[in-house]
A and B are shown apart, each in its own frame.
Chain A
Amino acid sequence: MHVVIVGGGQAAQQTIASLRQGGFDGRLTLVGDEPVLPYQRPPLSKAYMLGELPAERLPLRPEPWYTERRVDLLLGRRVTAIDRSARRVQLDDGGALAYDRLVLATGARPRPLPVPVAAPDAVFDLRSLADVEGIRAGLQAGRRLVIVGGGYIGLEAAAVAHSLGLDVTVLERAERLLARVASPTLSEFYRQQHSRRGVAIRTGAQLTAVEAGGDGGLVTPVLASGERLAADLVLTGIGILPNAEMAAEAGLDVAEGIVVDRDARTSDPLIFAAGDCTRRPLVHHGGHGRLESVHNAVEQGKLAAAAILDQPRPAEDCPWFWSDQYDLKLQIAGLAAGSDHTVVRGEPEAGRFALFYFAGDRLRAVEAVNSAPEFLAAKKLIPAGARLDATAVADTSVKMRDLAAAALAAA
C-alpha cells in the first residue's frame, strides 16, 4: 500500500506519525510545496518573529525522524492535479505518483488584500517561514508598522512589533477586535491591553488602498474616510483561504474547504483531508465548519491515519486554540456560536479571568486569560456535555477543578 500525503505542515507530519505508530508498514510519500521540513507555524507570529526562537528549532521533527519512518520526502514540489480514476497525482515537474490512499493536507493561504496595492514590496503576509523572513528585516525600532486586520495573527504581530520598538497601528474593519472569533468582553480586554502599551487600535477602519511613497513613509495606507497613514511597512492578517481548488477540480465535495466526515474522509473513500483545508463535522457543537488550528491539524491527522489503518476512531476533542500577546496567555476551548449567555470568572482588571459561554446550562466555550485550570476544565466538560451552574462558576472561592469534577461526575 502506498499512502501519498499532499502538503507539508502539521497535519501531514501527524499523519505520518500516527500511521507508523499504528503499525503501517507500507510506502509513505510526502509532497510539500515549501522547501523545508514540516514546521511549527504558531511561533511565526510569536517567539520566532521576536527573534527568541532560532530557525533550527522550528521543524516539528528533525530529518532523521522521517528517514527512520521510511518517508520519501519530496520538498519544494507541488501536486498539480489528482487523477482519481487512475489513482495518481500529477507533480509540477511532469512526474506522477500512484497512490492507494491519498491525504490532502494542503493547508490555507492568506486572504489577499481586496484593495489596490501599489507598493507590494512593503506589504507582507504572515503565514509561512518565507513570509516572516521577508518581514523580519523590516522590524526595526522606530519604524512605523500598519497591521491590517485585528484578529489573532494581527494582534500577536502587534505585540511582537511593539516589543521590538516599532510604532504600531492596527486597522480593523469591524467595530471591535477579534469580531469574528471572540466575545465583546474579550475584544474590549485586548483593545485596552494594546492601547495602554501604546499600540494604536483603529476599529471601524476600512482600508481602501495602499499607495506607494508618501509623507516620510515608504507606503501610504488610505482609509475609506480619506485619511492617509504613513507607514514603513504593512502586514496583513485578514484571514486565510483553504487550499481546496485542486480537490474541487478533481470532483471532490468542496464547500469553503474540502468536505470531510468524522474520519477525515472526503467524498472519495480513498482520499482523506486534514487540517486547515477541511470543512469538518463539529462533533461537540453540531453542524460543520472550518477549524484553523493546530488542534484540528493534529486531530484530523490521527483520524485519517486510523481510518486508513481500519482502526477505531481516536477521541475527538472540542476545538481548542491559544494566542500569546505580551504576558497574556489566552487559551480557548469550544465554540461560542449558539451560546445564549456568558459568565465572567475572575477579574479582567487583574489580567486573570475566564469567560464561560452557556447554551442553557450546558457549557459551550471558555476563553481563559492566564487561567489554565479553567481552560483545562472546559476541555473536559464540553465533550462530556456536562451541565454547570452559572452562579457557581462566577464564585472564585470554589476551585475550578472541584467544580469540574462535580459536573463531570453528574454528567
Chain B
Amino acid sequence: MAKEPIEFTDKVVKVESLNDLPEVPVSQRFTLVNKTGSWRNVRPVLEEQNAPCQNACPLKVWVQSFIDLLTRGKPEEGAIEILRNNPFPLLTRKLCKAKCEIACNRKKYDAPVSIRELEGFTGNIAYEKGLFPKREESLGKKVAVVGNSETMMSAAYFAYMYGMDVTLYASKPFDGLGLSDDEVKREVDRLKKWGIKVIEEDKDPDTLKSEFDAVITDKKDVENKLTFQTQDEKIFAAKPERKDISRDFYFGKRAAKSVWQYLKGEEITKDAPPPRAVSFNNIVTDYFEPEDRIDTINTMEEAIAEGNRCFSCGHCNSCGNCYVFCPDAAISWVDDFPVVDYDYCKGCGICVNECPRSVLILVPERG
C-alpha cells in the first residue's frame, strides 16, 4: 500500500462525510488540552534526602553530591563541595575513621564505597589548584582564634568561611597530631593563601577581647557543650577529643557557627539531628550490578569507577529512570534534571518506584 502523507494543519476539520476521515483515528492536534493532572491524588516530588554516609559523618560532608559532581566530569566543583564541610580533606584521608563507610548502604550489597579515598583524591584537586569554598557575606567583624589544636585550625577555617575577618594565633599549628613539617606547612599555607592572618605565637585569649569582636580558643573550658559558649559571651571554646579527627574538626566548625550566630545578633542554637537517611531497603538494587571496590584511588579513572559504585542515596544523579518510565511523558528533562509537569502527571507513582535512590517521593495532594 502506498504511503499517503496527510497534511497536518491547525485548523479544525468539519467532518461532512466518511471521506473526510482517515481509517486510523489519528489527529494532528495535541491532547495537551486534556490536563490529566487533575486526576491526581498523590504527587511525585523531587526531594533531596540524606544518605547514611552523610549522617554518619561528624562534618556532614555531602558525599553523594561530591561523588555525583566527580562522576559527571566536574571534579573541581566536587572538590569545592567537600570543602564546604571538610576543611582538610588530605588530613581526613590520612587519619579519619570513615564512619561514612561503616554506614554506607552499598555495604549491604557488595562492599562500601571507598568514600575516604574518593574524598581525599577529589579534595586534593582543591589543594593543587588553590580552590576554596565560597565565603558568606562579610560581617565586618574581627575574630581571633587562639590555639594549636586541629580543632582551632578548623575553627579558623570555618569562621573565615562564615564571613569573619580571622586572625589565628598558633605557635605550633596541628600540635600533637604527628604530622610532618611539610604537612603542617601545606595546611597553614592554604589558610594563609585563602586570607586568614596566621600569627605564630601564643596569646592569652582574655587579652584579645578588646581588640576582637569574638574569640575562639582551646585554652578555656566550655559552659555549653552543644554551642561551645563559655561564661564570657565573647569567648567560645572547643578542644579536640582525639578519638576521631572529623569530630575534632566538627567542634571547631560548630564553635565558628556559634560565633557567627552571636555576631549576627541571632539566637545561638544547637545543631538539630539530621533527617532520617535513605536506607538500603529504599534502594532499587535491580539497577545496580556488583562491582569490585577500589581501595586505593590514584587516578581519575579509578576515582570515576569507584564513584560510579555509589548508590547516590537520596541524591538525584540524573540517571533518567523517571523520565524513561513516566507513561504519560509528564516528566521533561531540563538542564540535565527531571521536571514533573503537574498539569499532566496523574500521580501513578511509577517514577517513584523506579527511582533507584529514593530521591522522588510521593506526597498526598491536599483538598
Do these two chains really belong together in a complex? no
User: Which A residues have a C-beta under 8 Å from some C-beta of B?
Assistant: none
User: Which B residues have a C-beta under 8 Å from some C-beta of A?
Assistant: none
